[in-house]
Homo-oligomer: A and B are copies of this chain.
Amino acid sequence: MKKCNLKNDYSEGAHPDILKALIETNNLITETYGNDIFSGEAKKLIKKKIKNENADIHFVSGGTQANLLVISSMLKSYQSVIAASTAHVVIHETGAIEATGHKINTVETVDGKLTPEHIKNVLKEHKDEHMVMPKSVFISNSSETGTVYKKEELKALYSFCKKNNLFLYLDGARLAAALASSDSDLEPEDIAEYTDVFYIGGTKNGALTGEAIVITEDKLKEDFRYYMKQKGALLAKSRLTGIQFAEFFKDDLYFKLGEHADKAAMKLASVIKAAGFDFLFPPSSNQIFPIFPDKLIKHLQKTCDFYVWKKTDENSSAVRLVCSWATTNETIDMFITSLEDFNETQ
């Protein structure tokens, strides 16, 4: 991999504080399977942060695991989940949701975000037992296109879901980046208040691995550990995730890392904008999607790693640039220098 890594936010190791905590706690003998003192401490800190003492919190090792676990636990076999056609669960999880037996009702969106109107249309078409019964809604914040929900938007979604007897689930693989976005007015406690269940992503924000599933809706709490064990998601040495999330929430490290990632991405975005380029989606968080001439893309790829997202016209493509908790000024500078070099050479 190149030093200038804008390919994703999980190519680096862990934040040093996390490694330090692993070392410091290494000799302690603990309970297992989520009952260790570190998991207990992490849960306490998260509850405090989201201002909800009654939440149930569980740690798992990855995002696809979190998604298939939560969604399948919410649904009876004939019930479905509604999601944007760009959602991770729809495209990039190898049919993990369907493998648990459930249909995803997909809707087309402008920017990867769902609205009550989207859901209403799906509900209108599903009226009897010859069709699946939509029972839950999947959103991601930040979304797969880097966009973020505003408080009013999330509130409206949640309120619509409650009125229509639907569970609202928020995939927070990049929740830190979402909350740090200058386009976001959401606080951690809002996420807890305006969803039924969500997960706090660690993998993409500086953990070795691990996500924290937070269940606030009582109906979804029952026997969740049975589901976890059955899906292979209940880690024996749960101290691994416990220690990391305790560290994340002890001094707001989790949120600081999100800020770092967004700030780096916004710096890139402003330089790119100033250079006259457009974006496929408005840049809001740590993933940005500028549209570049293909020639420029080739030039940039000599120095930096990133994904080409999709062709936008004959000679141009959108690319995805991802900054992370670990992105250095050097990386940003390398990208900018490469961009400027090209302009000069044309």
Determine whether the beta carbon of A223 is less than 8 Å from that of B133. yes
Determine whether the beta carbon of A232 is less than 8 Å from that of B132. no
- Per-position contact with B for A99-120: 1 when CB-CB < 8 Å, else 0? 1111100000000000000000
Q: What's the dominant secondary structure at chain A's contact region?
A: loop
Q: Which of A65-73, A270-278, A287-295 contacts B (4 or more CB under 8 A)?
A: A65-73
- Per-position contact with B for A300-326: 1 when CB-CB < 8 Å, else 0? 000000000000000000000000000
Determine whether the beta carbon of B26 is less than 8 Å from that of A14. yes
| Also in contact, A129 and B229, with CB within 8 A (given A13-B27, A22-B208, A98-B102) | yes
A130, closest chain B residue (CB):
B92
Give every chain B residue within 8 A of A103 (Cβ-Cβ).
Answer: 95, 98
Distance between Cα atoms of A132 and B91 in the complex (Å) = 8
Determine whether the beta carbon of B62 is less than 8 Å from that of A227. no
- Which size bracket describes the interface of A in this complex? 35 or more
| Also in contact, A10 and B129, with CB within 8 A (given A76-B223, A98-B98, A230-B78) | no
Distance between Cα atoms of A33 and B63 in the complex (Å) = 12
Which residue of B22, B77, B203, B239 is within 8 Å of A99 (Cβ)? Answer: B77
Determine whether the beta carbon of B19 is less than 8 Å from that of A230. no
A101 → B minimal CB distance (Å): 5
A171 → B minimal CB distance (Å): 13
Distance between Cα atoms of A19 and B19 in the complex (Å) = 8
Determine whether the beta carbon of A231 is less than 8 Å from that of B10. no
Determine whether the beta carbon of A94 is less than 8 Å from that of B203. no
Give every chain B residue within 8 A of A2 (Cβ-Cβ).
Answer: 29
Determine whether the beta carbon of B13 is less than 8 Å from that of A28. yes
Determine whether the beta carbon of A1 is less than 8 Å from that of B13. no
Q: How many copies of this protein are present in the complex?
A: 4
| Also in contact, A11 and B32, with CB within 8 A (given A78-B230, A229-B94) | yes
Q: Is A162 an interface residue when CB atoms closer than 8 A count as contact?
A: no
Determine whether the beta carbon of A32 is less than 8 Å from that of B8. yes
Q: In residues 134-174 of chain A, which contact B (Cβ within 8 Å)?
A: none
| Also in contact, A63 and B26, with CB within 8 A (given A78-B230, A94-B129, A98-B103) | no
Q: In residues 1-29 of chain A, which contact B (Cβ within 8 Å)?
A: 1-3, 5, 8, 10-14, 16, 19, 22-23, 25-29
| Also in contact, A95 and B99, with CB within 8 A (given A16-B26, A22-B19, A235-B209) | no
Give every chain B residue within 8 A of A235 (Cβ-Cβ).
Answer: 61-62, 203, 209
Determine whether the beta carbon of A22 is less than 8 Å from that of B32. no
| Also in contact, A95 and B29, with CB within 8 A (given A63-B236, A239-B13, A240-B208) | no
Determine whether the beta carbon of A29 is less than 8 Å from that of B8. no
Q: Is A52 an interface residue when CB atoms closer than 8 A count as contact?
A: no
Give every chain B residue within 8 A of A130 (Cβ-Cβ).
Answer: 33, 92-94, 229
Determine whether the beta carbon of A94 is less than 8 Å from that of B226. yes
A112 → B minimal CB distance (Å): 17
Q: Is A64 an interface residue when CB atoms closer than 8 A count as contact?
A: yes
Give every chain B residue within 8 A of A233 (Cβ-Cβ).
Answer: 65, 232
Determine whether the beta carbon of A92 is less than 8 Å from that of B131. yes
Give every chain B residue within 8 A of A132 (Cβ-Cβ).
Answer: 94-95, 98, 226
Q: In residues 21-64 of chain A, which contact B (Cβ within 8 Å)?
A: 22-23, 25-33, 61-64
A-B contact pairs, 5 of them (CB 8 A): A11-B31, A12-B28, A68-B232, A78-B94, A209-B240
